[in-house]
Structures are given as structure tokens and as C-alpha cells.
Amino acid sequence: MEEEKSDRTKIIDRHESVNGSIDSNTTVSSHVNKAVDYESISGPITYNNFPKDPDFAAVVREAELALDHGIVPKLSSKGTSGCYFMQDQEKKIIAVFKPKDEEPYGHLNPKWTKWMHKLCCPCCFGRSCLVPNQGYLSEAGASLVDQKLGLNVVPKTKVVRLASETFNYSAIDRAKARTKRNIYNRVPSVGRHFNRIGLPPKIGSFQLFVNGYKDADYWLRRFDSEALPESTAKKFQHLFERVVVLDYIIRNTDRGNDNWLIKYEPASTKAGSSQGDIEDAEWSMVENPEIAVAAIDNGLAFPFKHPDEWRAYPYHWAWLPQAKVPFSTEIQELLLDQLSDMNFVQDLCDDLYDLFKCDKGFDRHTFEKQMSVMRGQILNLTQALKDGRSPVQLVQMPVVTVERNKSTVGRTRADSEIFTQSFSHRAPFFSWC
Ligand SMILES: Nc1ncnc2c1ncn2[C@@H]1O[C@H](COP(=O)(O)OP(=O)(O)O)[C@@H](O)[C@H]1O
Ligand SMILES: [Mg+2]
């Protein structure tokens, strides 16, 4: 169904100046890792560098060291792209790495079904509302939004460069690496002139691995038959709202119940009490059930336009009973001040700009369109939070874009402080709810 745009336009004046603070953590590091088969010959080796986030840097370093010691990443059997489980030196999985060139439609995607799909059905492959082959930025962008808003449901994700024999390289890259290494071994005086030997590092998203979680689908089915204790159900509801907020803001087009994870540890008595003691155990001996969620696989978000197709790419959580509950005061308190502040929203756009601009296919105009969609989503969400609506009511609201106007000063066109809001009067998703 065609979108009817601009039925109603409204000019918003932004009076206050924008105070753009940039978190250098989120930018693509220009450094590359010293991986198992990547060696810098001229000058000192530099690493993926995250000076503002030493904890994250330490995990990346662990993965690099493991690669140095020949511990190779494992390709995930699930999914339609190159998704690798990175290990530490004890072979414990510590992160998930998704190289840009192995994304669903990247030229080195190791899963041939997508390649066939592209070949046999070129007119309907991909999602026409998304910037192609920038999934890794979408992954890192989702983490940025999550951190900035204090949602804390996305395992931290940043852009990293890594090389490994296990990754999918072209025959040419492998041959080049072999030749350089042979020359270096046989004629070191010539080999020393190479900038590097070994396979080229790949740019991609690096997401911290969370332990003890299962696909949301698994636990949601269990919760259907075994109701959660009241306090745990309340905590789960708050976490669920955070996933909703994240997905709505970034307009995630791929949130099935296999793309978020739940960790649930039912109540147990504290260590030391034997089975026989359980009945007599004091309540203080019983631990509260633990529940946590992780929103993974955020690579298909940040569209530059709302999906055209009616009911396309729905948020699958909208079918859950939790989606019918009005947003809590907890989430209102966390978000309303931030989201109603245009400077905060502009800061968020600036941080995303710093992240996205590092891609070699970056296009400023397309980025502005992505931000127009995101601002529109934030506008709707803010209204829904103010009105105490539920997630289902949120996804029924007509979608809106908020475009930043250009103003001409002399001969240069600059971003202005004026925004234009355009509503679409498409039938909303889930009109049957
Ligand atoms: N950060 C993570 N922590 C723990 N498990 C993860 C994480 N990311 C992915 N996984 C596991 O790997 C599987 C595939 O990851 P996903 O990001 O969904 O890749 P794909 O794009 O191939 O669908 C997930 O279903 C999940 O079981
Ligand atoms: Mg997935």
C-alpha cells in the first residue's frame, strides 16, 4: 500500500542551541588488530582502541590474543550471514563478531541460500527501507542508543577490525597473503617493504556474549504454562518495556522472538540447605528468581523510510500479553525528560553520525533520512509515554517523520534549527488488536 505522506505538516521551532557532545568510544577505530595471520611489518602494531571503555577494550584484546594463539572463531550455524563466536584463550566464548562483508547481502556471505536468493529473485531481495550492507553499523548503533538512554538491554557492541583464517575471504585475498608471506620468508629485505602480510582485517560489529540466556521464544512458552512469581513478572514487564522502546526508536525490522534472549533462574534455596530442610526453610533462605533480557541481532534497523508494505516487518513482541499493559511509571521516569529534550535527541543523532560516517558507503543525505525516521519514532514514543499508552497502542499510532530543514546562509546550505513533521495516514499495524 502506498504511503500518503505529508497530509499534515507542522513546523517546530528549535530555539536552544545544540550542544553536541561526542563519545569517541563509538567511533570506528582506525587501528587494526594484531590477529593470528596479520602482522604489521613497518612500525609498531596498533590495536582496536577504546580508551574510554577499558572493560570493552579488554574483551577485544582477549579475542585478539586468542587469535594470536591459533584459537579460531566458530561460525554460527544459525542465521543467514557470517556470525562468529569469538573465544578467549581458555576457549570460552566472549563475543559475537559479524563482519560487514559477510552480511546477508555482503559479497563474502558464507551462507549460500542468501546468495541464491539474490541471484534468483533480485527484484525482491533485501529490505528496501534499509541501507544495504550496513548491518554492523546498525548493531553498534543499537548499542549506542541503548547506552545513551540507559536501557541496558543490548550487550555492548562496537565496531572492531579482526582477521582470522576462519573468516570467509576471497581466493584473491588468500593468494595475496600467501605470496607476501612466501616473499617475506624467502627474501626478507624485499618483504620488509610490505605494509603488512597476512589476511586483511575485516571490519564488523563485535558484541559481548551473554551467558546463561536462551531464545525469548523458549521462556515465553514456559511462562505461558507456568506463571512467574508476581515480583519477577513485574521485573520482566519493565525489561520488556525497554526492548519495546529500543525497537521502536531504532525501528527494528527484525525483532522476532529468536532475536532477543531471556535468562531466567527460578527461585532456589541458598546453598547449604538440604532437600529435607526446604519445607522448613525460612523465607530469608529463599533467593528471588533472577530474570534478565538481552536484545541481540540488531543489524536490520535504522531505516531511511518507514516500510511501505502494510504490516511489513512487525515487532513480534506486539502479540505478547505484556504488550497490552500500559507503560510503567518507571519507564516514564527514565525516558520522558530525555526524549522531550531536543538537545538530547540532537546529541543522539550526532553520536550516530560519528559512528555511521566511518562506513565507506556513507551518504549524508541518506543518514539525514534515517534520523528523520528516528526523530518521528521518538516523537510518537514520547506522546505514548505521556498518555500512559501500551506498546500495542504505540505501534498503532500513525507513523511520522521529523525532517531537519536546510537553510541557506550566503552560498552554503547548513542544517537549520527548524524541523518539519510529516504524518503518514497509512493503516496502522495490528489494527485487528
Ligand atoms: N551477544 C550474544 N550473547 C549470547 N548469545 C548470542 C549473542 N548474539 C548471538 N547469540 C546467539 O547466536 C545466535 C545467532 O545470533 P544472531 O545475532 O541472531 O545472528 P543472525 O544474524 O545470524 O540471526 C542467536 O540465536 C543466539 O543464540
Ligand atoms: Mg538472528
* pLDDT tens-digit map of 73-125: 999 988 778 999 999 999 999 999 999 999 987 888 877 665 566 566 554 55
Q: What is the average per-residue pLDDT within 1-7?
A: 39
Helix (H, G, I), strand (E, B) or coil at 214: strand
pLDDT tens, residue by residue, 328-345: 999 999 999 999 999 999
CA distances from 255 to 38, 279, 376, 428 (A): 36, 42, 19, 18
Residue 359's pLDDT band (boundaries 50, 70, 90)? very high
Q: How far is CA 237 from the centre of its chain?
A: 21
| pLDDT for the residue numbered 18 | 31
Question: Which tens digits make up the pLDDT trace of 146-176?
Answer: 999 999 999 999 999 999 999 999 899 888 8
d(CA 55, CA 353): 24
Nearest residue (by CA) to ligand 1, atom 21, is: 79
pLDDT value at 240 more than 50 = yes
Residues 418 and 12 sit within 8 Å (Cβ to Cβ): yes
pLDDT at residue 371 greater than cutoff 70:
yes
- When comparing pLDDT for 352 and 310, which is higher? 352
Distance 190 CA to ligand 2 centre (A): 46
For 224-260, give the DSSP string: HHSPPPHHHHHHHHHHHHHHHHHHHHHT-S---TTSE
Atom of ligand 1 nearest to the CA of 95: 1
26 or 401, higher pLDDT:
401
What is the average pLDDT across 363-368? Answer: 96
Provide Rg for the chain, Cα atoms. Answer: 24
pLDDT above 50 for 235: yes
pLDDT of residue 9: 36
This prediction has a pTM of: 0.83
Contacts of 31 (CB under 8 A, 6+ apart): 46, 47, 48, 49, 161
- Asked whether 76 lines ligand 1 (CB < 6 A), one says yes
DSSP tag of 286: B
Instruction: Specify the pLDDT at position 10.
Output: 39
What average pLDDT is seen over the chain?
Answer: 82
Comparing 25-39, 70-84, 130-144, 201-215, the range with the smallest average pLDDT is: 25-39
Pocket mutation for ligand 1, best pick of 74, 76, 94, 257 (most atoms within 8 Å of C-beta): 76
Instruction: Judge residue 40's burial from the number of C-beta atoms within 10 Å of its C-beta, 0-12 exposed, 13-18 middle, 19 or more buried.
Output: middle
Atom of ligand 1 nearest to the CA of 299: 21
CA of 409 to the centre of ligand 1 (A): 48
More confident residue, 428 or 202: 202
